[in-house]
Structure 1
Amino acid sequence: MGPTHFTIAYWCVLIAVLLPYACAYLAKSSGLGKPRKQGGFDNNDPRAWLAKQTDWQARANSAQANSFEALPFFIGALIIAHQLGAPQGRVDILAVLFVTLRVIYIAMYVAGLATVRSAVWVAAFLVNIGILLSALR
């Protein structure tokens, strides 16, 4: 049976779940506190307001969407690894590596460094595969 305590990998799930919300805040941050008539954030129609953003705000919003897209595989891989009795130390290290790569990915996305961003995305995806397969003996 899997772990009976809250592992480092489980804490990483919490962090990974919070990353898209950090991206959303970042995407909206330039418009917070400003009146809508002056281009401020429109909470009545947030998606339309975000769709009008450009430059780093638009990229932060795209990073939000991609961060949500990355969650199912990460969470599923961790659950499967735990259920199959993968070495906890290995799973924890890979989970921390995944979250670290996702933070770097977001930074590269917002900075507009597309090639580096894509390379980091591939690395994080491969780490997920490593988590999934970590129980193989």
Structure 2
Amino acid sequence: METLLISLFIATILPIVAKAPLAYAMFKDRGYNNRYPRSQQAGLTGFGARAKAAHENSFEALLMFSPGVLAVLALDVATEWTQYCAIAFIFARIMYLIMYWIDVHIARSLFWGVGFFASLAILWDAMVQVAAIY
């Protein structure tokens, strides 16, 4: 269960971690426009545009990951499998960010897929475990 909580914590802070390269790109662009940051972000290209997309995708991934982990925790049906899937998700998401930032698109897509399927596997395992109980 501790592994799931740590994974949920890491997944929750990944969008904020992913903001750092975006903020750097904005600063390098014309100085960080704190008054209209979204307008500035919309005009970014290259690394800045990729950093923006990686940041936004981190929130989307969190929305996929959280329900499964929360279901497993709430129902107290954590298994080794769910813990391995949570670790795989975190690893895949970190690698996804790195691949996005350095523009390795095929590896980025593969890591996205690993994270996506790990999220689904956690939720699926929660459903299987609950069905076995009832």
Report TM bin, short chain. 0.7 to 0.9
Q: How big is the shift at 1:31?
A: 4.2
Contact 1:102–1:124, Cα closer than 8 Å, also in 2: yes
Q: How big is the shift at 1:114?
A: 1.4
Q: Percent identity?
A: 28
Could you say which residue in structure 2 is the equivalent of 1:44? 35
Could you say which residue in structure 2 is the equivalent of 1:94? 85
Q: How big is the shift at 1:132?
A: 1.1
Per-residue deviation, residues 63-91 of structure 1 (Å, max 9, x unmatched): 01111011122110112223444344332
Contact 1:81–1:133, Cα closer than 8 Å, also in 2: no
Could you say which residue in structure 1 is the equivalent of 2:3? 8
Per-residue deviation, residues 4-55 of structure 1 (Å, max 9, x unmatched): xxx22111111111111111111111444x7xxx811110111111112211
CA distance in 2, matches of 1:42, 1:120: 32
Q: Does 1:118 align with 2:109?
A: yes
Contact 2:92–2:114, Cα closer than 8 Å, also in 1: yes
Could you say which residue in structure 2 is the equivalent of 1:23? 18
How does the TM-score come out when normalised to structure 2?
Answer: 0.84
Runs of 4+ in 1 over 3 A off after TM superposition: none
Contact 2:41–2:52, Cα closer than 8 Å, also in 1: yes
CA distance in 2, matches of 1:125, 1:29: 28
Instruction: Please list every run of 5 or more consecutive structure 1 residues that lacks an aligned counterpart in the other structure.
Output: none
Aligned residues: CA RMSD: 1.9
Instruction: Please list every run of 5 or more consecutive structure 2 residues that lacks an aligned counterpart in the other structure.
Output: none
Contact 2:88–2:114, Cα closer than 8 Å, also in 1: no
1:75-86 aligned within 5 A: 75-86=66-77
Structure-2 change in CA distance of 1:39 and 1:108 (3 Å): same
Number of residue-to-residue matches in the alignment:
128
How does the TM-score come out when normalised to structure 1?
Answer: 0.83
Structure-2 change in CA distance of 1:106 and 1:84 (3 Å): same
CA distance in 2, matches of 1:88, 1:82: 10
